[in-house]
Amino acid sequence: MRNENTTTLRAQATAFLDGAPEVKFVDAFLADLNGVLRGKRLPAKAALKLFETGLRLPRSLVGVDVWGADVFDNGLVLEAGDGDGLAAPVGDGLLPVPWAGSPSAQVMVMMDEADGAPFFADPRRLLLTLTEKFAAKGLTPVAAFEMEFYLLSKDSDERGRPLTPPTAFGGKRVFDGRVYAMSEIDAYGAFFARLYEACAAQGLPLDTAIAEAGPGQFEVNLKHQADPLRAADQAILLRRAIKGVASSFDWLATFMAKPFGNLPGNGMHVHLSLVDKSGVNVFDDGTGEGSPMLGQAVAGLIKTAPEAMIFFAPHLNSMRRFQEGSHAPTRALWGYENRTAAIRIPSDSGTNRRLEHRVAGADANPYLVLAALLAGALHGLNRELAPPPPVEGNAYAASAPKLPNDWRAALCAFADGAILAPQFGALFTRVFTALKRQEIRTAGQRVTDFEYETYLETF
C-alpha cells in the first residue's frame, strides 16, 4: 500500500478498537466519481487487517454511474477483466459513527492499482496530484467548504414531493424561507445539537450554521484547512454525518442541487487561498485589491470555468439551479463583496485574504470541485493571466457569456477542452466522460411525470 501514514493509522485504529470493544462493525468506503460512498461493512475484528494489507475492491467501482451500474465504455470492466485495485486507509483513520443504531466505526480509503501504484481515475488521487503541483511551486492551498442542504420529512405531498419535518415550530411544517432566522435554528435545535456532537466525535471542524432562504434549508461551514485533501475529506464526511443524524430523527437530509423548482437550490461554496513556505498568504499584499497572484488565480478560474462546469454541476438536476437572480451564478465573473458573481472576494485582508467560489452545487464531488479550482488557479498562475475588471452591481445583467447550462454541453466543454482534461490525464478523462455519457443516455430514456401530466391525455 502506498500510504506514508499507514503505521500511524494502524496504531490509531488499534487504540480505537481496544478502547471501544462494543464496536461490532466498521464501514470502509471511498467516494466514487459522483461522490457517492461505496465500500464494505466489515466485522470490527477483521477491520485491522485493512491497515496491514488494504482492502481489495474492483477498480471499476470509482467509475460506476450514479445508480451503481457498470460503465462498460470506460475500459475498466470487460477489457481489463474488472480486476481489483488495492484500497488503502486515508485521512484520519478509524472514526466513530455516533448516529448509528449500534456502536460502529468508519474509515475512508483511496483506490490504488493492485501493485500499489497510483490509480489516476480515483477522484481523491486527482486532488492529491494537483496539490503536489502546488507543492512543487512552494505553495499550499488553504480551503474550506460551505454546504447547503434541506431537512425534509419522509412524508410526501400529493405529487410525491417531500415535505419539511413536522417537528418544527410546535409540530407545524415550514412553507416559507426564513433566512438567517434564529427561530428556525431553534426549531431544529435538537438536530443541530446532535450534529455538532457527531462532528466533534469525528474531529470534523464544524463552524457556523445558518438558516437559508428555503423552508427547512440550512448552511453549515467547515473551518479552513491548509491541506486540500483534508478539506475535501471533511466535506465528504460532513455530508454523511448530516444525512446520518437526520435519519436518526426519521428525517431526510438532501444535498440535491434543486429539489424544488420554485425554491432556492443547494450550493457548495469553496473558500480558497494560497500560502508560501513561510506561511504567508500570497493573495495578500496589504492593499484592498489583493496581490497580483490573487488576480492571476481569478483569471485562471474564469478562463477554465466552461471546462470545469461539469464538475460544479455534474448531474441532470444540477443545471436547474442556475437561474437568473437565484444566487447561483450564471456568468464567469468576479467581484469584491459581490454575491451575484461566480467568484467573490471577501473584504477580509491579511491572513484571511481569499476568494470564494460560488458556482458548485451541493451535489457535486468535493474532490473534483477542488481539483478543478486548483487546476484553474494553477493555469492562471503559470501563465500570469490578467483578470477582466471586477463586476459591480448585478452580475446577472452583465454582458459576459453565460456558463454552460446544459448537461451535455458542459461535458463536451471538458472533454474537448485544452486546459483541464490534459491536466487531469487520459485515464481520468476517459473514465469520467464515459460515466457521464452513460448517465445522459439513461436520463434521456426516462419520461417524466410532467410529460405524462401534459401530453398523455392531451393528444
> 179 is written with which cell numbers?
433566512
pLDDT digits (tens, 9 = 90+) for 254-269: 999 999 988 999 999 9
Q: Is the pLDDT of residue 175 over 90?
A: no
pLDDT digits (tens, 9 = 90+) for 118-166: 999 999 999 999 999 999 999 999 999 999 999 998 888 777 778 877 6
> 253 is written with which cell numbers?
437530509
What pLDDT does 345 receive? 96
Please, what is the Cα angle at 236 between 232 and 241, to 5 degrees? 140
SS (HEC) of 382-406: HHCCCCCCCCCCCHHHCCCCECCCC
What pLDDT does 26 receive? 96
Handedness of CA 301, 150, 224, 12 (dihedral sign): negative
Chain position carrying cell 481569499: 354
Write out the H or E segment, with its range, that includes residue 131: helix 123-136
Do 406 and 413 touch, CB atoms closer than 8 A? no
Count of helix runs (H) and strand runs (E) in the chain: 13, 14
In angstroms, the CA 135 to CA 179 distance is: 40
pLDDT digits (tens, 9 = 90+) for 5-51: 888 999 999 999 999 999 999 999 999 999 999 999 999 988 899 99
Of 411, 372, 413, 417, the C-alpha closest to 129 is: 372
Higher pLDDT, 420 or 350: 420
Topology (CATH level 3) of domain 131-422: Creatine Kinase; Chain A, domain 2 (3.30.590)
What pLDDT does 1 receive? 46
> 230 is written with which cell numbers?
483534508
Please, what is the Cα angle at 381 between 378 and 384, to 5 degrees? 145
Of 65, 119, 86, 33, the C-alpha closest to 371 is: 33
Q: Which residues contact 342 (CB under 8 A, 6 or more apart)?
A: 301, 302, 305, 329, 331, 332, 333, 334, 357, 358, 359, 395, 403
pLDDT digits (tens, 9 = 90+) for 315-360: 999 999 998 878 899 999 999 999 999 999 999 888 899 999 999 9
Strands 139-153 and 251-254 come out as antiparallel
Angle of helix 292-312 versus helix 407-415 axis, rounded to 10: 120
Top CATH class of 1-115+425-459 equals: alpha beta
What is the residue extent of each domain of the chain?
1-115+425-459, 131-422
pLDDT digits (tens, 9 = 90+) for 206-222: 999 999 989 899 999 99
Q: Which residues contact 33 (CB under 8 A, 6 or more apart)?
A: 62, 63, 121, 123, 365, 368, 431, 432, 435
Contacts of 187-191 with CB under 8 Å at 24 or more apart are 188/151, 188/218, 190/249, 191/151, 191/245, 191/246, 191/249, 191/251
